[in-house]
């Protein structure tokens, strides 16, 4: 429950950054400063740029450290001890991106309001309720000494950079915040700050929480049968799972075993909670409250694959990876190399790859022996439980039990502190306690106009109807919703990351990943000895018989809960050197449920990307073998599976010759590649959006409108074969029953008109890239709403190809709209994208290639702010030097860090 002064405002959960209108003052001051003198402005912008050459004295170092940067500013760090390597990485990360690190730690601690005021209060309330920081504080105590030492040394490096440095010398953002009156000095960095960010990434990749809510709400709107049709089962026969062999045996997963009856635990029959929808109406908006900075968990996927030496021109394995995340500026990754000059038990690190600013080590990359890549396994690690509450008690197994409570205080810039009482059942924190914030300081209210989340406009209506039909829960009893999430169970995931950096073979690789709890990942592997492999990771709960993870469960029934146990790591699928010599992971099913019964999830990606990747790799093998260039080309494939399915039906519609048939003419010669310069791709995607809108939005709650991703590929593919399905009918038209071809014809006509208005009356002049632009926005000041401020930090206008559920996965939301001078229009802009790309040949690590979505720098106007984005958008990559000689040859700047006398 929430107490405090809120100025009587009843607000919905909107992204906090969109409400920072008080930056108007910055705009005025900034314009005056710019007019006063360009030189002053240049000095102000540049004063926070890091020193990258020469010498610096850094307290805490035991010896000299060299930081060699190439022409993209990517640092390779050389030291004689683990302490110095980690300390120097912290120093370099702070040089490049401390403001990003500082905002992240405020976000993950639920303290954004200290910097940005009441506009970020909703985010802080949700994060405090989830208790990310509390979990991180517990995890620090579980770490191995070597991991704790690395975290502490990293923090010491960050703090060495901050020591005595004015905030204006740290980042331009602090200068602008100071102009608004913020009196702020960053506090010291700590190990907990690093661990808390891992919780944000776990939230971003959390699995099927939205699907749980969506199933319940869709069933309430259209009935269980029709709702089930919108959540199709994974098509194992059409899209092969990652692992095609093996089963769980007495000693864990055995890749050579065949499944036998009783060889694995049975989680029982699924059940649903009829009271779920009523309680969800009060919980609405909480899940979507967190800003894009902390991830939305929707539309997130990745590609990762590895090819054995029998299929490569070199005879050695090649590994590729491109994780798909929300787009931001700076991007989530920053590249780095960490090298002990002399490898020993005391200093065993020789690794390079993609890191998180704020976290020591490398997350994805390679060392001198192995390479690895991540894709999201997306196991079902979250469940919503509908709880029966009576005051400060909750019902379980026919008895009332006391709720667990803790008190939180949120400091609000330019406002009164907010007191928050977090209540929890044994399942987890009560999200529904955030569902109402009344005028007198009660709870956050779901009954407001959520302009950013149309779903919520419908939730109260659905909830009221369900409440009337629901069972009598007794006088004084109310329904609440709690969240069970494995990432809220303290686990030493940071141990796994450090161990992975130092793994040297398959056995040490698997041992390292045993402790990787959250987020659950598919990890592909290759080594210099010629082996390839795959390992599933993550803390996955075992549910009781009354809970199949598909919909919110009745929390008062013992049979719906978790057993308290997890699928043992030894039972998670893995394979070494599989038959066929290729392992492809793109968020598809890990393994056929017929051979593997422990429940991982029922909400896999439908497998279009993984199947396409497999087909392309087979073509390359048949053409003479795979090399680095061909692997990189596969990452850029823009073939649309939906385009191939839907286009023949569109061409079968009889349109008037001339103006309206111009689009069909384009489709007749289309190869289904969604290239940026393709007129046909532009037309197809506008048609696709219109088909989805006209087929589903008349019956679904607004927030559940189709986003156009892989699930909708599968749903519409099935409906196309049923031309009289009720889904085609528009229930809002009286005395007319629309069928498939009616919808397709209307979509074709509307798309022609839209493209004429937005691009050109000449169909050949349309381009997909002009609609499908990549805009990179700062998650803080870049969302201020003040044009002159946003212009400082945001960059945009890259015309890109690809799309949702395409290998080049530049995802867009088919339900999104944006306001333009001419009115509200469809928004085809990129919302998720390959956050980086890498290709690693195991015979020559210096021949590896990599690229980041943005540059390594977080400083606006710095040459390395978005210098890699131009290359990324063109499909180019950078050379990835690894050996010391290659790094020296590529070096542009060398900074020597000296210990303090």
DSSP secondary structure letters along 75-138: EEEEESSHHHHHHHHHHHHHHHHHHHHHHHHHHHTT-THHHHGGGGHHHHHHHHHHTHHHHHHH
pLDDT at 263 over 50: no
- Of 143-152, 278-287, 322-331, 450-459, minimum mean pLDDT range: 450-459
- Of 318-332, 371-385, 439-453, minimum mean pLDDT range: 439-453
Overall average pLDDT of the 82-110 stretch = 96
Q: Which residues contact 688 (CB under 8 A, 6 or more apart)?
A: 642, 646, 708, 814
Stated length of the chain: 901
Percent of the chain with pLDDT over 70: 86
Residue 10: per-residue pLDDT: 28
Residue 275: per-residue pLDDT: 46
Residue 318: per-residue pLDDT: 98
User: How many CB atoms within 10 Å of residue 458?
Assistant: 19
Overall average pLDDT of the 141-162 stretch = 97
C-alpha to C-alpha distance for 588 and 540, rounded to whole angstroms: 17
Higher pLDDT, 738 or 446: 738
Concerning whether 302 is annotated as a catalytic residue, the answer is yes
Q: Are 812 and 51 in contact (CB under 8 A)?
A: no
Burial of 732 (0-12, 13-18, 19+ CB in 10 A): exposed
Residue 300: per-residue pLDDT: 65
Overall average pLDDT of the 545-560 stretch = 87
Compute CA 526 distance to the chain's CA centroid, rounded to the nearest angstrom. 25
Higher pLDDT, 820 or 554: 554
pLDDT confidence tier of residue 261, bands split at 50, 70 and 90: low
pLDDT at 439 over 80: no
pLDDT at 18 over 60: no
Residue 436: per-residue pLDDT: 55
Catalytic residue among 302, 482, 640, 804: 302
- Of 187-201, 476-490, 740-754, 837-851, minimum mean pLDDT range: 476-490
Overall average pLDDT of the 710-737 stretch = 95
Q: Is 298 labelled a binding residue?
A: no
Overall average pLDDT of the 213-222 stretch = 82
Residue 12: per-residue pLDDT: 32
Q: Is 380 labelled a binding residue?
A: yes
pLDDT confidence tier of residue 789, bands split at 50, 70 and 90: confident
| Top mean-pLDDT range of 80-84, 202-206, 231-235 | 80-84
Overall average pLDDT of the 486-505 stretch = 95
Higher pLDDT, 708 or 22: 708
Higher pLDDT, 183 or 551: 183
Q: Is 210 labelled a binding residue?
A: no
- Of 9-18, 177-186, 422-431, 498-507, minimum mean pLDDT range: 9-18
Radius of gyration of the chain from its Cα atoms, rounded to whole angstroms: 27
Higher pLDDT, 313 or 33: 313
Cα torsion angle, 823, 824, 828, 832, sign = positive
E strands present in 427-507: 478-485
Percent of the chain with pLDDT over 90: 72
pLDDT confidence tier of residue 286, bands split at 50, 70 and 90: low
Residue 467: per-residue pLDDT: 39
Residue 202: per-residue pLDDT: 84
Which residues does residue 575 pair with via DSSP β-bridges, in sequence order?
A: 534
pLDDT at 681 over 70: yes
- Of 13-27, 170-184, 348-362, 504-518, minimum mean pLDDT range: 13-27
Residue 44: per-residue pLDDT: 80
Residue 287: per-residue pLDDT: 53
pLDDT at 203 over 70: yes
- Of 6-15, 345-354, 401-410, minimum mean pLDDT range: 6-15
Mean residue pLDDT across the chain: 87
pLDDT at 270 over 50: no
Residue 11: per-residue pLDDT: 34
Residue 212: per-residue pLDDT: 79
Burial of 884 (0-12, 13-18, 19+ CB in 10 A): middle
């Amino acid at each position: 429950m929430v107490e405090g002064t809120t100025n009587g405002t009843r607000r919905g959960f909107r992204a906090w950054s969109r409400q920072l209108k008080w930056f108007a003052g910055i705009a005025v001051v900034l314009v005056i400063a710019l007019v006063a003198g360009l030189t002053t402005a240049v000095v102000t912008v540049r004063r926070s740029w890091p020193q990258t050459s020469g010498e610096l004295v850094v307290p805490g170092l035991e010896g000299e450290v060299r930081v060699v940067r190439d022409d993209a500013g990517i640092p390779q760090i050389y030291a004689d001890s683990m302490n110095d390597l980690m300390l120097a990485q912290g120093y370099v990360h702070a040089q490049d991106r401390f403001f990003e690190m500082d905002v992240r730690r405020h976000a993950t601690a639920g303290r954004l309001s200290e910097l940005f005021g009441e506009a970020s209060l909703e985010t802080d309330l949700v994060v405090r309720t989830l208790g990310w920081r509390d979990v991180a504080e517990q995890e620090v105590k579980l770490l191995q000494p070597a991991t704790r030492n690395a975290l502490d040394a990293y923090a010491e490096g960050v703090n060495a950079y901050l020591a005595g440095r004015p905030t204006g010398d740290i980042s331009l953002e602090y200068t602008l915040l100071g102009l608004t009156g913020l009196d702020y000095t960053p506090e010291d960095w700590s190990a907990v700050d690093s661990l808390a960010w891992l919780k944000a990434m776990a939230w971003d990749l959390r699995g099927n929480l939205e699907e749980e809510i969506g199933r319940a709400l869709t069933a309430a709107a259209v009935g269980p049968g029709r709702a089930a049709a919108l959540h199709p089962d994974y098509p194992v026969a059409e899209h092969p799972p990652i692992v095609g062999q093996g089963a769980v045996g007495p000693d864990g997963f055995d890749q050579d075993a065949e499944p036998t009856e009783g060889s694995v635990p049975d989680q029982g029959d699924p059940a649903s909670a009829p009271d779920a929808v009523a309680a969800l109406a009060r919980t609405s908006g909480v899940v979507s409250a967190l800003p894009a900075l902390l991830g939305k968990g929707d539309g997130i996927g990745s590609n990762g694959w590895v090819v054995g030496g029998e299929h490569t021109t070199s005879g050695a394995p090649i590994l590729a990876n491109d994780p798909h995340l929300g787009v931001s500026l700076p991007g989530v990754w920053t590249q780095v190399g960490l090298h002990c000059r002399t490898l020993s038990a005391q200093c065993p690190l020789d690794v390079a790859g993609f890191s998180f600013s704020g976290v020591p080590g490398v997350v994805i990359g390679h060392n001198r022996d192995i390479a690895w890549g991540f894709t999201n396994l997306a196991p079902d690690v979250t469940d919503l439980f509908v709880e029966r509450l009576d005051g400060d008690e909750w019902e379980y197994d026919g008895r009332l039990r006391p709720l667990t409570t803790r008190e939180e205080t949120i400091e609000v810039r330019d406002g009164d502190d907010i007191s928050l009482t977090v209540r929890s059942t044994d399942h987890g924190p009560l999200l529904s306690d955030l569902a109402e914030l009344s005028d007198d300081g009660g709870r956050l209210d779901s009954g407001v106009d959520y302009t950013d989340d149309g779903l919520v406009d419908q939730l109260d209506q659905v909830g009221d109807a369900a409440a009337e039909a629901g069972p009598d829960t007794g006088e004084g009893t109310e329904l609440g919703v709690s969240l069970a999430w494995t990432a809220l169970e303290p686990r030493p995931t940071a141990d796994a990351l450090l161990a992975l950096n130092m793994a040297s073979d398959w056995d040490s690789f698997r041992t390292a990943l045993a402790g990787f709890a959250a987020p659950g990942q598919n990890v592909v592997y290759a080594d210099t000895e010629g082996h390839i492999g795959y390992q599933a990771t993550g803390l996955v709960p075992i549910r009781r018989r009354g809970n199949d993870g598909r919909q919110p469960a009745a929390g008062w029934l013992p049979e719906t809960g978790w057993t308290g146990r997890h699928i043992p790591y030894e039972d998670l699928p893995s394979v070494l050197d599989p038959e066929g010599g290729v392992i492809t992971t793109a968020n598809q099913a890990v393994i056929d449920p017929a051979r593997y019964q422990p429940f991982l999830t029922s909400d896999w990606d439908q497998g279009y990307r993984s199947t396409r990747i497999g087909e392309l790799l087979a073509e390359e093998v048949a053409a003479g073998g795979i090399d680095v260039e061909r692997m990189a080309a596969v990452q850029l494939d823009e073939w649309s599976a939906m385009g191939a399915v839907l286009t023949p039906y569109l061409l079968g519609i009889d349109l008037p010759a001339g103006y309206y048939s111009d689009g069909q003419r384009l489709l007749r010669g289309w190869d289904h590649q969604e290239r940026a310069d393709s007129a046909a791709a532009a037309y197809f995607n506008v048609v696709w959006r219109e088909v989805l809108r006209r087929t589903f939005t008349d019956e679904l709650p607004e927030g559940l409108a189709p986003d156009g991703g892989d699930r909708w590929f599968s749903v519409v593919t099935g409906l196309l074969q049923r031309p009289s399905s009720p889904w085609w009918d528009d229930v809002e038209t009286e005395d007319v029953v629309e069928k498939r071809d009616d919808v397709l014809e209307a979509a074709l006509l509307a798309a022609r008109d839209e493209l004429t208005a937005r691009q050109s009356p000449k169909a050949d002049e349309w381009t997909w890239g002009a609609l499908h632009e990549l805009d990179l926005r700062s998650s803080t000041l870049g969302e201020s709403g003040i044009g002159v401020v946003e212009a400082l930090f945001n960059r945009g206008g890259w015309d890109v190809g690809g799309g949702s559920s395409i290998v080049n996965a530049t995802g867009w939301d088919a339900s999104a709209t944006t306001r333009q001078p001419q009115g509200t229009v469809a928004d085809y802009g990129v919302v998720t994208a390959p956050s980086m790309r890498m290709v690693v040949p195991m015979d020559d690590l210096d021949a590896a290639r990599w690229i980041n979505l943005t540059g390594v720098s977080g400083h606006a106007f710095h040459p390395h702010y978005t210098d890699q984005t131009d290359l990324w958008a063109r499909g180019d990559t950078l050379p990835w030097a690894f050996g010391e000689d290659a790094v020296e040859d590529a070096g542009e700047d060398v900074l020597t860090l000296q210990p303090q006398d």
